Structure 1
Amino acid sequence: MISVKVLGPGCSKCRTLEAKVRNIVSSNNIQADITKVEDINEMMSFGIMMTPGLVINEQVKSYGIVPKDEQILNWLKES
């Protein structure tokens, strides 16, 4: 199972990214455990300075942007 973490305090971009990831995982039948991380200390442990952040299998894939659906899907398939 793929571990996915969406890092962010709950801003609109953070909610958008979380919804995108959940939709992509569901529509592509990907087995993933999706966690929303709002704790600032946990977010800082990944070394990101801007939210939202996307972490797949403990690797930071993006931060500060909402990636395109195709990019998120590619990252999930690589994992």
Structure 2
Amino acid sequence: MKQIKVLVSSCACNQKFASLVEAVVKNNQIDATVEKVDDIMEVMQYNVMSLPALVIDGQVVARGQKNEKELLEILK
């Protein structure tokens, strides 16, 4: 099972991105857990300069907004 973390800030677009990641995982039956991380100290551990960012199994795999198709390619 993959462990997915969505690194976000409190802005609405970041929150929408986190919801989209959850929907893509659910709708495509991807074997993964999704965690939204908005604690700045935890986000800083991943050394990302822009949010949102996507972390799978401890590795940063994407930065910035992605659409549903792009997310599906990354998550599969």
TM-score by length of 1: 0.86
Aligned mates of 2:9, 2:36 — CA distance in 1: 9
Aligned mates of 2:3, 2:13 — CA distance in 1: 20
Q: 1:16, 1:66 within 8 Å by CA — same for their partners in 2?
A: no
**What is the RMSD of the two structures over their aligned residues, measured on CA atoms?**
1.2
Q: Which amino acid aligns with 1:9?
A: S
Tell me which residue corresponds to 2:13.
13
Other structure's SS at 1:42 match: helix
Q: CA deviation at 1:9?
A: 2.3
Aligned mates of 1:17, 1:57 — CA distance in 2: 19
Structure 2: 5+ residue stretches without partners = none
Q: CA deviation at 1:23?
A: 0.8
Aligned mates of 1:60, 1:22 — CA distance in 2: 17
TM-score by length of 2: 0.88
Other structure's SS at 1:30 match: coil
Tell me which residue corresponds to 2:22.
22
Q: Which runs of 4+ in 1 moved over 3 A?
A: none
